[in-house]
Structure formats: structure tokens, C-alpha cells
Amino acid sequence: MAVPGKAAAFRLPPLPTIGEIIKLFRLRAQKQLSQNFLLDLRLTDKIVRQAGELTNAHVCEVGPGPGGITRSILNADVAQLLLVEKDARFIPGLQMLSKAAPGKVHIVHGDILTYKMEKAFPKYLKKNWEDEPPNIHIIGNLPFSVSTPLIIKWLENVSNRDGPFFYGRTQMTLTFQREVGERLTAKTGGKQRSRLSIMSQHLCSVENCFTIPGQAFVPQPEVDVAVVHFTPLVHPKIQQPFKLVEKVVQSVFQFRRKYCCRGVQILFPESERLKKTEQLMMAADVDPTLRPVQLSMSHFSNLCNVYRKMCDEDPTLFAYNYREELRQKKRMRLSKNLSSSEQIEEEEEE
């Protein structure tokens, strides 16, 4: 019996199962898009529970596919659900769900990598960055092919406080290959410590919630899947622009099995590489014989702060690109070899 004065929680009416939806609309997961369907509603419910209390929340689901997680989100009694789906084959099945939840669902046929999230939710939901997170959540069973570029894009949005973080410290609950999930949450010294570890943990509280075995998906991927929850931090652990932090971290992990100074070297042109590297390592108080996985967040913060100071002193430094220098040297060698061979041919003709 319903409690007097309290509205009953929303529940979807009886609908075809996800398996029946797949058969009805002749849906097949496309391998080139790394699509995998999750049919077990107990698991989709478990994913949605990791997002926290969703009653009256505004949610964006990324890549809903046939709508398994979508059903679990709607059954959590959300206020509004935005579905962003790139694959047009799934739209009719999602429209069926939309009709079953009148006024709750908005479907966008588009690419989440280019979709403008600043206008996705009502302005009144916006909160100050220092406040508790807004009642907005991003949830998604991400295709493996898009998961890493998408989380890097969103981490940059966190740093800039734009995109879905225009509204405040929007929380995310997303799936990744288990190995990627381990990288996102790896601690100092862990074998999975990587660029993703630093970029995510300096901006967010990151929790590897649980692992879903590969056999729970259709078709079955070769790997298990991690469910990871992100809450942006009020204060990032590295107080520098995203692009600068990314450049330093990428450089350090370029040679992950060597001493960290080897990666730091490629921040500088060859002509001043050894001198500048020694200067940076000493000023940052980082032992050059540590391996990249042994560097703490404090180490990376020091490296970024000192590198920023060096870039301020030499405005051309940040634009330096190690790979471009290698390409130029290769072109020069090829050009020199070509000139030498042409000269030899001319001498033989004489």
C-alpha cells in the first residue's frame, strides 16, 4: 500500500526483453565499433547503483545500444534521461522505451565526442564547483574503441570546468576494459601505473567498483569489463593547465621501463637536452633514477610546476615537439642520401 502523500516510484511497464528487442529490430553488435551488449538486468541494475541515488536526477547515458542500462536508469526514478546514440539502428528500440516513460527521455542521434554537453541539462541544476556535485550523472557502457579518447576529453573538460562539468562536479559511472580500469586506479609503484593513472587521479576521485566477466556480454569480448566511478575533485592535485600536465606525463611514460629522466629529456630540444633535464630534475627534487611507475603525484606536481616556470622563461619551449624533431632529422638524412646517390650517378656518367 502506498504511503499517503508520497508519490509512487516510477516503474517501466511490461516490455519485450532486451534479447527480444535485438531480434525484433535485427540488431547485431558491430565488431569494428567494438560493441558488446549487456543483457542481464541484474548487472545493469548493479552498474546504475554505483552512480548513487538517482531519484529525480538528470542523467546522460552514453551509447545506450539496445537499452539494457537505459531500463535500469529509468527504474531508478530519474527526472530526465538524455540518450546519446551514434548508431541509428538502435534508435527505434530506444523510442519504444521513450514511449513507455512519457516525458522522461530525450534521444539524440549523434557522437558523444562532438556533442555539446553545455546545453544538455537545465541551467538551474548548475552548482558552484566548491559545492556538492549537481544532481547530474553520466552513465555508459562504452565501446572499447572510444573509451580512452572519451575519458581524456572529459578529464580535460573537468580541468577547464566546461562540457558536462559546466554544471559543477558532475559524476560519471563508466565501463572500460579491465586493464584500462586498472590503469585508471593504479597507485604509485603499481605495474599498471600509467598516463591514465596520473591524468585521472589528479583531477578526480576514481573508484574501480567491480568487474563484469566477459561472458556476460553478447558477443563475448576477449576481456573482462571494469565499472569505474569518477567524482571530480574540488582542487586538482596538479595546479597547471591540462595540456601542460598531459605533455609532461606523456613524456615521462614514453619510456616506462627506463629511468624517469629519459622521458623528461624529450621535453627539450636536442641541443640543450641534457642541461635542461638536469636543471628540471634538480629544481623539482625528483630522483632521476626512479622509474615512471614509482613517481608519486607530488613528484609529477613538482615536475609540472618547474616545467611551467621554464616555459614562461622560454615561450618557444612548450611548442617543442620531440617527434617532429625526429621526423625532420629523418627527412634530412633521406635528403642527404638522395643527394649523395645523385652525385655518384653523375660521376659514373662522366
Binding-site members are 36, 38, 63, 85, 111, 141
**3-state class of 156 per DSSP?**
helix
Find the Cα–Cα–Cα–Cα dihedral 331, 333, 338, 344, rounded to 10°: 170
Q: Binding site residues for S-adenosyl-L-methionine, as ranges?
A: 36, 38, 63, 85, 111, 141
Residue 142's Cβ-count burial label (10 Å; 0-12, 13-18, 19+) is: buried
Task: Report how far residue 287's alpha carbon sits from residue 261's, in angstroms, rounded to the nearest whole number.
Answer: 8
DSSP assignment, residue 331?
A: H
Neighbours of 39 (CB within 10 A): 16
DSSP assignment, residue 71?
A: H
Task: Report how far residue 218's alpha carbon sits from residue 3's, in angstroms, rounded to the nearest whole number.
Answer: 41
Q: Which three cell numbers stand for residue 170?
A: 558532475
| 259: Cα separation from own chain's centroid | 27
Task: Report how far residue 98's alpha carbon sits from residue 92's, in angstroms, rounded to the nearest whole number.
Answer: 10
In sequence order, the 6+-apart residues with CB closer than 8 A to the CB of 153 are 113, 163
Handedness of CA 114, 115, 119, 122 (dihedral sign): negative
DSSP assignment, residue 66?
A: T
Residue 292's Cβ-count burial label (10 Å; 0-12, 13-18, 19+) is: buried
Task: Report how far residue 144's alpha carbon sits from residue 31's, in angstroms, rounded to the nearest whole number.
Answer: 10
Task: Report how far residue 77's alpha carbon sits from residue 177's, in angstroms, rounded to the nearest whole number.
Answer: 29
- Contact between 88 and 111 under an 8 Å Cβ cutoff? The reply is no
Query: What residues are paired with 106 via a beta bridge?
Result: 82
